[in-house]
Structure 1
Amino acid sequence: MTRPSVLFLCTGNAVRSVMAAAVLEAHGGPYQATSAGTLAVPGQPMGWRTRDALVALGLPVPPHRSRQATPALLDQATLVVAMAREHVAWVRQWCPGAAERTATLPWLASRLPLGPAPLTERLGALHLSTARLSEQDEVAEPDPEDPASYQTLAARIRTLVDELARRLTPAPPTGG
């Protein structure tokens, strides 16, 4: 049986979405983590700064090659987790069928409801295709001139993905 998938989405599929997918995969939970970009050059390996940031967090380095997000890829995802508002807007424009399953990582990490309901029901209650996102709901790119910014970014992404992972799994029903 195929695990439900979480597709992490950034621009080039070289840094942010790669880090987020690696963190979620390291959880070993019920969701398969994948990544793609809205303007990716397909087939590119991750950069050394991204790799080093993952290693610094003690995470396995995935055998990554960049890929372009497509409507088919978005349609297959159980959840699409974008890094910025521009990525959410891209999904809303190019794959409106996935818009109800798409929001940014910080937004979902703080608002995805816990509870016993399946993920699809909890996502539906959020009305994501019309959700308003602010600048605080974004994960900014690292400074390419500052290698340390990649480690800072990786630590922030790990915190956000750890919280998202906690919220992804339905909580057992409380009973009395």
Structure 2
Amino acid sequence: MTGPATVDPRPAVVMLCTGNAARSVMAVVMGRARTEAVRFIGAGTHSIEGLPMSGRTRRALEGLGLADPAHRSHQLTAADADGADLIVAFAPEHVDYVRRMHPEAAARTATIKHLVAELPPGPAPLGQRVAALRLADVEVAGAEEVVDPGGGEDPAFVACAAEIDHLMDQLLALI
């Protein structure tokens, strides 16, 4: 007979982009490399389940000394949304998607740029600090987007990785 399932006490943070092939992948790999205190989950709003990251994403991460050969794309599920302490989006349309498809998680969803500007630091649990932001009522500005490098070549992916790397440093200091 086995004992009760162990509950992971770390905050669950979903990194959300469109296909879970570039931006969210980069953020998850960066987050996992920097801390074990957060459980990072990558997902997409319009993802084909089970695909590896693109070669351009892989090369951009390798340029930062990072890798995740086991990555497979994942579509955001109700369980992901329900279990997340925070859903970090990379574009306004990702926030809109959560508000439409998973409205119960809207109060825990914002763009990474909004979070690094507004999430208060401090000793209070992440959930309390996120709730204080009243995210379900926030109008999301177009300037909050981390531009998808998907249609570009390697330099676009390298630039995107550098931007996310900087944003992840800021976000992790607040989480």
Provide TM-score, normalisation by structure 1: 0.91
Offset of residue 32 of structure 1: 1.1
Matches within 5 A, 1:49-128: 49-128=56-135
Tell me how far 1:146 sits from its aligned partner: 2.2
**Contact kept? 2:86, 2:108, Cα under 8 Å:** yes
What's the % identity of the aligned pairs? 45
Gaps of 5+ in 2: 1-6
Contact 2:12 2:38 in 1 (8 A): yes
SS at match of 2:140: coil
Tell me the SS of whatever aligns to 2:16: strand
The aligned amino acid for 1:67 is H
Question: Which residue number corresponds to residue 32 of structure 1?
Answer: 39
**CA RMSD across the alignment:** 1.2
Whole-angstrom distance in 2 between the partners of 1:99 and 1:67: 20
| 8 Å contact kept, 2:56–2:153 | no
Q: Measure, in 1, the Cα distance between the counterparts of 2:61 and 2:107.
A: 30
Question: Residues 92 and 57 of structure 1: is their aligned pair in 2 closer, same or farther, counting only changes over 3 Å?
Answer: same
Q: Which runs of 5+ in 1 are unaligned?
A: 169-176
Please say if 1:6 is aligned against 2:16: no
